[in-house]
A and B are shown apart, each in its own frame.
Chain A
Amino acid sequence: MAAESNKQAIFTAMREAIENYDSEAATEAAKQAVASGIDLLEAVEKGFAGPIRKLGEAFDRMEIFLPQLMLGSEAMKAGMTVLEEAITAGGGSIQSKGTVVIGTVEGDIHDIGKTVVAALLQANGYSVHDLGVEISASRFIEAAESRKADIIAMSALLSTTMLYQRDVVELLGNKALKDRYFILVGGAPVTQAWADEIGADGYARGAYEAVQLLDSKKESWVK
């Protein structure tokens, strides 16, 4: 009885840490979970997963905004680092939905759209490596290879820079790596027609659509 009550208290602390965008509290709650010996996979699902999904939904309804979404995602990341270490040490693993490397293409300094997509993917269970802005084709590919990524996601906000998305696809083709990744493109000037033209695997108009697309196309990128 006491053990069950202690477990529920830890789950509550984990949920509140995310709801309060508090990385330190998330880390602390995760440490408590590890120390208490409870099932850590259950802790992930009942502690962190629910509130982070709700944050994503609240962001979509514009009840919260980018800073809160990012702080919530960072809090979850902080807590998950603790849980992952313990789970891995115990011989287990946390199944992320998939691994994404994401960035804004070369010559383009716009980061917000890409940052929103990264935060929402993370909130929805993907392991996300945000490379930042002005990312060259070779850096995208190096990062995807070294992270054993499933998905390469590229943003371009300008008509003048979207052609660098083509370069990434072309370079992947040259290296015979194109089939290894699901290539997702987005950004204000980008369209489905452009994605088709350059041979990308998917196009998303917005962050939520990116999550939905990857979820729905899982069979085409899961390894």
Chain B
Amino acid sequence: MNFKEIAKRGETGPLSEANDFLMKRVSANVLKLEKKYRITWDGKTLINLDDEMADRCWQAGRELLLASGIFGMNSKRIIEFSAEEVDEALRFAPAQLPMGQGKDAVTAHHRQVEDPRLPFIFSGPFNADTSEEHFVKLNEAFAQERLIDSLLFPGYLKKLDGQMIRPTSGLASRAAMLYGQWSREAVRRAGRPGMPITGHAVMALNEIACTNEQWGLRSTDPRAMVLISELQVDDVTMTRLAYYLAYGCPIYMSFTPLIGGYGGGPAGTAIAAVASFIAAVVLGGEIVHIGPQHIKFKQQTNMHSLFLAGLVNQAVARNSNIIATTSHTTSGRPGSEQYAREFSALALTAVTSGSNVTGPRPAEPLGFNNVSPLMARLFAEVSHAAAGLKRSEAAQIVAKLYETYKDKIDLQQAPKGRAFEELYDLQTLRPTSEHQALYDRLKEELSSLGVPL
């Protein structure tokens, strides 16, 4: 099914109130499907090892999407699909996707459960608040990390020209262009001029202004867009989608299933997440990003989110060609040990479950530039090391890691971390000796826990 047909259904499908869609089409069906397909969480499993449940979860998610459709938040119309249309979209989902240019071109792949192939690494400031003076240097420091395949969301400016940036304003268009220019300059300075840059901080329509083959973001840079929990899409995403599909950009479609929200607990939300994976592909997504969010903890390394990430990625890996990637949002912040322990736990879960990886970032950055390119390197190393591990092996390590941070998941209690300019020498763009020592210590610790670094 092409975009034209989807856009048409967004104007002609059944009319509904948002609450009715979420309660009657999503929540009510999730409850039924949870029982029908026996999707359960035992209250302790961190990484699912039950392949049959993963397959049942896939069936349940597919059935949910057929029963619910996708809600157009602005038109209040439900975009519905037939089983044939869904299956056709899945059949044509690309199993590999090239991006970037020249010698910096890279390809993201669909991965299988316990796949020995290395996961694709999307990493960067990930929309952390970034000060204008450090914007290019900070992104350069990420781009110089060779294990990062694509620079991700090159930071967010709270103010530009001394003004807060109102979405849809002229200033937002100016910001979009500057994000494009500065991130392109950063990868150029790092000696990777064709490095793909995925998304940036202006998510409104103004984002399109960043597009320029010479100085901005190119047709070979993945464009990021977001579905709203659960199974909802707005006009901004549809409009950007229309433009970027026509322009030829790889489409990076993300969604954040909310544990405790309309999908219920971890098991029910896993069904909603599989439905969202399929919905993203039907809408035109070529790389699908899952951010397993949590209504209480507001981060992604709690035990509910770990279980959901494993189960859902396994369902997708075993039953489709979708190129999946998992977001890593932690309680601990860069510059702390907990940050690395948390992203390692989720990376081990996601990679052995068939996903690529996106991140890491703190769920609640404190102040500006609360990022560390060196920790992104460790994240990439752990993710690479996880490739080829059995889930059962990963589960033992994840259990030990989880024990170290489970009592400090609350964002107010989690370590505060430090800013980039405190962790790096801004002249050489090298980590300070103290930050390097933290990295060395963590690497040794992770190795001793069994991560084959």
**Smallest CB separation, A81 vs chain B (Å):** 18
Taking a contact as CB atoms under 8 Å apart, the answer to whether A62 and B260 are in contact is yes
Report the bound CA distance from A18 to B129 in whole Å.
44
Interface window among A83-91, A95-103, A155-163, A177-185: A155-163
Taking a contact as CB atoms under 8 Å apart, the answer to whether B204 and A160 are in contact is yes
**Smallest CB separation, B157 vs chain A (Å):** 9
Contact with B along A144-170 (1 / 0, CB 8 A): 000000000000001111011010000
Does A188 interact with chain B (Cβ within 8 Å)? yes
Q: Which of A48-101 contact B (CB under 8 A)?
A: 60, 62, 65-67, 70-71
Taking a contact as CB atoms under 8 Å apart, the answer to whether B262 and A109 are in contact is no
Within 8 Å by CB of A188, from B31, B234, B258, B298, lies B298
Does A199 interact with chain B (Cβ within 8 Å)? no
| Interchain pairs with CB closer than 8 A, number | 68
Does A107 interact with chain B (Cβ within 8 Å)? yes
Chain B residues with CB below 8 A from A109, complex form: 73, 228, 234
Report the bound CA distance from A160 to B200 in whole Å.
13
Report the bound CA distance from A160 to B204 in whole Å.
9
Residue of B nearest to A113 (CB): B295
Does B203 interact with chain A (Cβ within 8 Å)? yes
Within 8 Å by CB of A112, from B31, B156, B258, lies B258
Within 8 Å by CB of A66, from B129, B167, B260, B364, lies B260
Interface residue tally for chain B (C-beta within 8 Å)? 37
Does B189 interact with chain A (Cβ within 8 Å)? no
Does B427 interact with chain A (Cβ within 8 Å)? no
Within 8 Å by CB of A65, from B229, B261, B411, B412, lies B261
**Smallest CB separation, B156 vs chain A (Å):** 6
Report the bound CA distance from A112 to B234 in whole Å.
15
Contact with A along B161-186 (1 / 0, CB 8 A): 00011111000100000000000000
Known: A62-B265, A65-B264, A161-B167. A112 touches B27 (CB 8 A): no
Does B8 interact with chain A (Cβ within 8 Å)? no
Report the bound CA distance from A188 to B31 in whole Å.
28
Within 8 Å by CB of B228, from A110, A116, A188, lies A110
Known: A62-B295, A67-B264, A160-B165; 12 extra A-B contacts, CB below 8 A, are A62-B296, A65-B260, A66-B295, A67-B27, A107-B167, A107-B168, A107-B204, A109-B234, A112-B229, A159-B201, A160-B172, A188-B364
